[in-house]
Amino acid sequence: MKEDFYEILGVSKSASAADIKKAYRKKALQYHPDKNPGDAKAEEMFKKSAEAYEVLSDPNKKAKYDQFGHAAFEGGGFGGGGMNMDDIFSQFGDIFGSAFGGGGFSGFGGFGGGGQRRVKGSNLRIRVKLTLEEIANGVEKKVKVRRKIQAEGVTYKTCSTCNGRGQVTKIQNTILGRMQTAATCNTCGGSGQVLDGKPGDADAQGLKISEETVSINIPAGVEEGMQLKVPGKGNDAPGNGIPGDLLVAIETQEHETLKREGDNLHYDLYISISDAILGTSKEIDAVGGKVRIKLEPGIQSGKILRLRGKGISSLNGYGSGDLLVHVNVWTPKELSKEQKEFFERMQGNENFEPKPEKSDKSFFEKVKDMFS
Ligand SMILES: [Zn+2]
């Protein structure tokens, strides 16, 4: 059972945004890795507080959490979820303000002390094209990725520009007097180390291309343009850095007969006048195979049949959309002599006169219902 986000931060459910921020700042400073070197419990609390704050500081996520609890963020790589130290510093670094000297954080997951920081490798981006069937139920995709990894046999030495500190201090004369500022070392990019020796197949940073198969879990209900993150599957960073992420852009393939609208699917069914009069059963397309539906005798053109739960599983994990079958009665243009004579006799016939009932909603009412 996951702990309550409000309890983790020690605030009430009615706490204001400012109170939540204040509470998080207090926890973050209390459990900051620089203050608790090597303390796994403190690190855990530091991460938990950040996770709680990530949700409670975002009005949309907070509303979802208030309504659904932790379940609101399960079943997908979106929002919530675990955070690593780099996420925390890059997202909420400013909240610590000047408490740690304004020179940034020495930790960055490395707890190395001094001014060193672990450099993060660059992110890789790929696109994945999904069919409606794959989106409907979620899918695991295996993709080949060419990522840069550390070449074997690469050696490093301490950066001579910063003497391994990762930072350089500058003394500037300003109208306010002499000012000392710290900046990330340009030579080593902040890692404190530079390349010493490397094998022939490595690039200038000691990296080489490697082709890997990465499996990506795609949750049901994703949409065109969404982006998933696979942590650590981007390029390696040189030296003791941490790898970047693999960013996966979702593309969707159009289905031949089914149209998606949110979590609902729409299908246009055409039936003959005789089928409409006598009733019939028809096979229609649905995600995951064909479905047979029954049409009652006397079914009206424009009727929408709703197959509950036969749509797309919703991204937040709560239920599925419906499959809406639009019934269209096909009017023949060519008739034999006998057929024509028969319908001529029916013109003006009592049974053939339109008698819409109150329950036969107009097209506009049906559309209105569907979106309400
Ligand atoms: Zn350096």
Whole-number pLDDT of residue 102:
31
Local confidence band at 201 (pLDDT 50, 70, 90 cut-offs): confident
Mean pLDDT of 204-231: 92
Residues in the chain: 372
Count the domains in the chain.
Answer: 3
Domain limits for position 71? 1-83
Whole-number pLDDT of residue 360:
62
Rounded-to-integer distance, Cα 192 and Cα 162, Å: 7
CA of 240 to the centre of ligand 1 (A): 13
Whole-number pLDDT of residue 246:
95
199: annotated binding-site residue? Answer: no
Domain boundary among 253, 280, 307: 253
CA of 173 to the centre of ligand 1 (A): 23
Are 351 and 328 within one domain?
Answer: yes
Give the pLDDT confidence of 225-281 residue by residue, as tens digits. Answer: 999 999 999 999 887 788 999 999 999 999 999 999 999 999 999 999 999 999 999
Give the pLDDT confidence of 27-73 residue by residue, as tens digits. Answer: 888 888 777 777 888 888 888 888 888 888 888 888 888 887 877 77
Whole-number pLDDT of residue 372:
56
Rounded-to-integer distance, Cα 147 and Cα 239, Å: 16
Whole-number pLDDT of residue 293:
96
Whole-number pLDDT of residue 76:
41
Q: Look at the block and give the residue holding tokens 């309550």.
A: 4
162: annotated binding-site residue? Answer: yes
Rounded-to-integer distance, Cα 323 and Cα 309, Å: 7
Burial (CB count <10 Å: 0-12, 13-18, 19+), residue 168: middle
Are 294 and 228 within one domain?
Answer: no
Are 229 and 295 within one domain?
Answer: no
Type of residue at 327: V
**For residue 64, what are its two tokens?**
């979802």
The answer to whether position 292 is within a domain reads yes
Dihedral sign from CA coordinates of 75, 52, 246, 262: positive
CA of 30 to the centre of ligand 1 (A): 30
CA of 116 to the centre of ligand 1 (A): 9
Domain boundary among 218, 253, 288: 253
270: annotated binding-site residue? Answer: no
The answer to whether position 111 is within a domain reads no
Are 333 and 221 within one domain?
Answer: no
185: annotated binding-site residue? Answer: yes
Whole-number pLDDT of residue 87:
67
The answer to whether position 42 is within a domain reads yes
Dihedral sign from CA coordinates of 48, 86, 212, 126: positive
- Residue 104, pLDDT > 50, answer no
Whole-number pLDDT of residue 370:
64
Q: What percent of the chain has pLDDT over 70?
A: 84
Q: Give the CATH number for residue 13.
A: 1.10.287.110
The answer to whether position 293 is within a domain reads yes
The answer to whether position 99 is within a domain reads no
The answer to whether position 319 is within a domain reads yes
The answer to whether position 67 is within a domain reads yes
Q: Give the CATH number for residue 337.
A: 2.60.260.20
Domain boundary among 191, 220, 253: 253
CA of 93 to the centre of ligand 1 (A): 22
Q: Which pTM value belongs to this model?
A: 0.59
Whole-number pLDDT of residue 261:
94
Local confidence band at 80 (pLDDT 50, 70, 90 cut-offs): very low
Rounded-to-integer distance, Cα 207 and Cα 198, Å: 9
Report for 32-46, 113-127, 155-169: range of highest mean pLDDT = 155-169
Give the pLDDT confidence of 300-324 residue by residue, as tens digits. Answer: 999 999 999 999 999 887 889 999 9
Q: Is 165 helix (H, G, I), strand (E, B) or coil?
A: coil
CA of 194 to the centre of ligand 1 (A): 7
Local confidence band at 109 (pLDDT 50, 70, 90 cut-offs): very low
Are 27 and 140 within one domain?
Answer: no
Are 2 and 41 within one domain?
Answer: yes
Local confidence band at 114 (pLDDT 50, 70, 90 cut-offs): very low
Rounded-to-integer distance, Cα 297 and Cα 288, Å: 28
Give the pLDDT confidence of 348-360 residue by residue, as tens digits. Answer: 999 999 988 766 6
Are 123 and 246 within one domain?
Answer: yes
The answer to whether position 313 is within a domain reads yes
